[in-house]
Amino acid sequence: TPTHPLKRRRSRWVVLAGGTAAVLVGAVLLLQWSRPDARPASRKLQAGSKTAAVGTARVTKAPQNRPVARISTGSLTAMIYEEDLARECVQRIGREVLDNMINRMIIQLACQERGVTVTEEEVDQEILRISKEFNLDPQAWMEFLQAERNITPQQYRRDIIWPMLALKKLAGERVTITEADMQRAFQRHYGPRVKARMIMFDNIRRANAVWQEAMKHPEEFERLAREHSIDPTSRALDGKIPPIARFSGNEELEKAAFKLREGEISGIIHVGMNRYVILKCEGYTEQVVKDIEEVRPILYQELEKEKVQEMIARYFEDLRQQTRVDNYLTNTSTGGTRRATGPAPRTIRQAAGTTPQRRTEARR
C-alpha cells in the first residue's frame, strides 16, 4: 500500500522508543533525561527527609545511613548500608546517570527562567496521541514499552514525554515545509532505491588495493567484503546493505550509487572522516508510489515530525553551550564562562519527591 514505507519507519520508531529518540537524534534520542517532573513542589516528602525552606528552594539534610541488606552465616553477620550501595552505583553508572540529570536540569532551569510549564494534562494528551498512532490505548502502549524496552510508565512520562514537550515550548518556533521538502521526502520514502553490496575501509591505501582486486575479479566482491570490510553488520552478510534511497543522509554515497548500472562497481567513495566505501550495484527497486498526491497528507505529517525533532535537537545543543556545567564527578566544565576550580559550592538540593525546577545554587 502507499503508506507501507512510512509504516516500516514507524515500526522502527517503536523499537527505538526508549533509546536517542525518537526526537534526538538521537537523540537522539537526547530526550531520555532522568526524571523531570512538571508537578508542584508541594508533594509529600519521602520518609526521613527533613527540609528547611530557603527562598524558593529546599535544603535537604542528609538522611540516616539506613541498612539495605543483612547477610548472616553461622555466628557472623554483615550489613550493607545505603552509603555503600550509593558508592557502588556511582562507580558503576554514576557518569551516565549524572549526565542525564544534568541534561534534565538544563531544561528545568531554562523553563524556570522563561516561565514555561508543562502540565500533567499535556503529558497525558501527548501519550494518548502517540498511542493512537499505533492503534493502541495508552495502557496497552505503556505495557508494550515496559515489556519490550523496559521503560516504566513513570520513566516514559518523566524521561521522554516531559522533556520533549518542554523543549518544544522552549524552542517556540513553527517549522516551515516547502514543496521542495515534500518532493525530497517523497523520493526518500517512495522513490526507487539502489540494491547494493558494500566494502568499508578506514584506510585509503587498503581501499585502493581491494578496489583494484575487485575490478579485476568482480565476481569475488562478496568474498572481499567478508575479508576486508570494517563494518561488522554488512561484513557478516557478504557486504549486503539496505537499499540506498535518495536524500537519505550521505550525498556523496547517493550520487555514486545512482550512477551505477547493475553489476557495476563504483570507485572509492569518501563518506566521512577516515571512512571509504566501494559499492557493487545489484539493481534497483521499483518506485512504490508514482503520484505524490496519493500520500501527501501522511508525508506532510511525517516531515513535520522530522523537522520538529531537528529543531529541538538544535535548540537543546545551543542550550547546552550557553549553560555552565561544572561536573565535579568527572572534573570537567562545559559551556558558560565560569571555571570549575576548588571545592563544589554549597548547594540547595531538591528534596526527594519535589519538582526538579526547585533546585538552585546558593553561594555563601
Q: Cα(82)–Cα(90) distance, rounded to whole angstroms?
A: 12
The reply to whether 24 and 93 lie within a common domain is yes
Residue among 275, 276, 264, 271 at smallest CA distance from 214? 264
Q: Cα(28)–Cα(36) distance, rounded to whole angstroms?
A: 17
The reply to whether 129 and 234 lie within a common domain is no
Residue among 278, 267, 281 at smallest CA distance from 195? 281
Asked which of 30-34, 134-138, 261-265 is least confident by mean pLDDT, the reply is 30-34
pLDDT band (50, 70, 90) for residue 268 = very high
- The pLDDT score that the predictor gives to residue 357 is 41
Structural domain of residue 50, as residue ranges? 1-151+292-364
- pLDDT higher than 50, residue 149: yes
Position 219 in a domain: yes
The reply to whether 199 and 227 lie within a common domain is yes
Residue with the larger pLDDT of the pair 101 and 237: 237
The reply to whether 133 and 10 lie within a common domain is yes
Judge whether 51 and 45 are in contact, CB under 8 Å: yes
Across 166-180, average pLDDT: 89
Q: What's the number of domains the chain is made of?
A: 2
- The pLDDT score that the predictor gives to residue 280 is 97
Q: Which of 284, 305, 328 is the last residue of a domain?
A: 284
Q: Measured between alpha carbons, how far apart are the two ends of the chain, in Å?
A: 66
Q: What is the DSSP letter of 361?
A: E
Q: Which of 247, 262, 284 is the last residue of a domain?
A: 284
Judge whether 192 and 281 are in contact, CB under 8 Å: no
The reply to whether 272 and 328 lie within a common domain is no
Burial class (CB in 10 A: 0-12, 13-18, 19+), 255: exposed
| H or E segment to which residue 79 belongs | strand 76-81
- The pLDDT score that the predictor gives to residue 198 is 97
What lies within 8 Å, CB to CB, of 309 at 6+ separation is 21, 22, 23, 24, 25, 26, 27, 28
**Amino acid letter, 83:** E
CATH code, domain carrying 222: 3.10.50.40
The reply to whether 301 and 196 lie within a common domain is no
pLDDT band (50, 70, 90) for residue 257 = very high
Q: Cα(218)–Cα(225) distance, rounded to whole angstroms?
A: 11
Asked which of 43-47, 106-110, 128-132 is least confident by mean pLDDT, the reply is 43-47
- Tell me the percentage of the chain whose pLDDT exceeds 70: 75
Across 275-279, average pLDDT: 97
Locate cell 505495557: which residue?
Answer: 143
- pLDDT higher than 90, residue 170: yes
- The pLDDT score that the predictor gives to residue 33 is 35
* pLDDT, tens digit (0-9, with 9 covering 90-100), for 102-124: 998 999 999 999 999 999 999 99
Burial class (CB in 10 A: 0-12, 13-18, 19+), 233: exposed
The reply to whether 216 and 89 lie within a common domain is no
Question: How many residues can be counted in the chain?
Answer: 364
pLDDT band (50, 70, 90) for residue 6 = low
Q: What is the mean pLDDT of the chain?
A: 80
Q: Which of 233, 263, 284 is the last residue of a domain?
A: 284
The reply to whether 227 and 351 lie within a common domain is no
- The pLDDT score that the predictor gives to residue 60 is 55
Residue with the larger pLDDT of the pair 342 and 312: 312
- pLDDT higher than 50, residue 336: yes
* pLDDT, tens digit (0-9, with 9 covering 90-100), for 182-224: 999 999 999 999 999 999 999 999 999 999 999 999 999 999 9
Per-position DSSP letters for 261-293, written without gaps between them: PTT-B---EEEETTEEEEEEEEEEPPPS-S-GG
- The pLDDT score that the predictor gives to residue 355 is 40
pLDDT band (50, 70, 90) for residue 288 = confident
Q: Cα(337)–Cα(133) distance, rounded to whole angstroms?
A: 44
Position 180 in a domain: no
Position 204 in a domain: yes
pLDDT band (50, 70, 90) for residue 37 = very low
Q: Which residues pair with 195 in a beta bridge?
A: none
Position 158 in a domain: no
- The pLDDT score that the predictor gives to residue 51 is 36
Position 238 in a domain: yes
